[in-house]
Structure 1
């Protein structure tokens, strides 16, 4: 059976109510930010990438351009 992916955009004024309803249905688990553990390897990778961009800022592209590239790749 093929997997179907849906993308949804929730308006801010509805987001909290929808999340509460999903939580009541036991469909999502809301966890406080302090419970989220970021692995050390991931922190190191982010630091490495920041240093690389600081050394070579010409490699950076504007966020809008990155979004366009991503959209083209996902079509």
Structure 2
């Protein structure tokens, strides 16, 4: 895979930018497992119909990071 586009709405886009994590529902795990460090990533906000990027994957995919980081972010607000 040469790159990946993650879908979001305006609220989840802001969360992605705040946490520096692009997330997917667990049913997309097979897709996410192909993401490798250095791969170009894009974020498409379907509410605004805007494509953001180019971002670079900081690591190979990891699962359940968002659960931990999201809790931290929610506690800060």
TM-score by length of 1: 0.29
* More helix per residue: 1
* More strand per residue: 2
- Higher relative contact order (CA closer than 8 Å, sequence separation 6+): 2
TM-score by length of 2: 0.28
